[in-house]
With several copies, the nearest count.
Chain A
Amino acid sequence: MKFGILVNEGPFQHQASDSAYLFTKAALEKGHEIYRVFFYYDGVNNANKLSEPQADDRDLVKLWSALAEEHKVDLVVCVAAALRRGIKDDILAPGFRISGLGQLIESGIVADRQITFGD
């Protein structure tokens, strides 16, 4: 089955990105396809490559990037939400791309199931 994922919050402040990541990983392990992970609202902060968590803490930016590399997951950051919050190509982590909100709606249309993680 094709899943579409929406992430509304950045890393650390809320658990949303953690839950979304673990759900995405579990879906891939079960052989499902992740059509797209769309980052909206403060969710765009998941794509900030300057993020440097403590050594014994999880590193969500790197975890998402690794998922994109290993499983060709499409990680899309909303351009409007990102501009406001200062997430631009200069600091965009590998595997993420910046695009329009239409990519979220398209995900809702194409995916068999669309699910939101937020606060």
Chain B
Amino acid sequence: MEEEWDEDGPEVVKRFMYVNRKAPYGTVYALEMLEKVLIAAAFEQDVHVVFMDDGVYQLKKEQETKGINMKNFSPTFRALEGYDVEKLYVEKESLEARGLTVDDLVVPVEVLSSQDLKALMDKQEVILTA
């Protein structure tokens, strides 16, 4: 994939990281962050999306939002692959604290310990949070 960017992408490819720490629906941050991720992908940047703390709940399966009159945006996570956004990471400690496993999530993710996440974050050039 990195080779593909070298051939067709823009001159500059930066490592972008999106850190999702907020639960869905209680605030809009999760939804509008997802819109940012999709745009970054269109710019063919090296996109990394991290879910930690309550952000892991964004990926929870079986969201049914009709009763609160809001749009269920969790299916969009499944569409990310089509935009070449494939680097999705979930912090192990956040998942465990909530009694969740990867089977509870709508998309396949890489589970990282805080230790491994540290190293990955430190390499990023642009980090967007909300």
Give residues in A with beta carbon < 8 Å to B: 6, 8, 12-15, 18-19, 21-22, 40-41, 56-58, 80-81, 100-102, 104-106, 108-110, 114, 116, 118-119
Contacts and interface: CB of A to CB of B under 8 A. Distances in A.
A22 B68 contact: yes
B27 interface: yes
30 contacts: A6-B128, A12-B28, A13-B27, A13-B28, A15-B26, A18-B68, A18-B69, A19-B68, A21-B69, A22-B68, A58-B69, A58-B71, A100-B39, A104-B39, A105-B16, A108-B14, A108-B16, A108-B40, A108-B45, A109-B12, A109-B14, A109-B126, A110-B12, A114-B126, A114-B127, A116-B127, A116-B128, A116-B130, A118-B129, A118-B130
A101 B35 contact: yes
B129 to A, nearest CB: 6
B66 to A, nearest CB: 11
Contact of B71 (A21, A57, A80, A106): A57
Ranked 3 nearest A-B pairs via Cβ:
A108-B126, A101-B39, A105-B43
Nearest to A80: B35
B7 interface: no
A58 B35 CA distance: 18
B36 interface: yes
Contacts of A105: 16, 36, 39-40, 43, 45
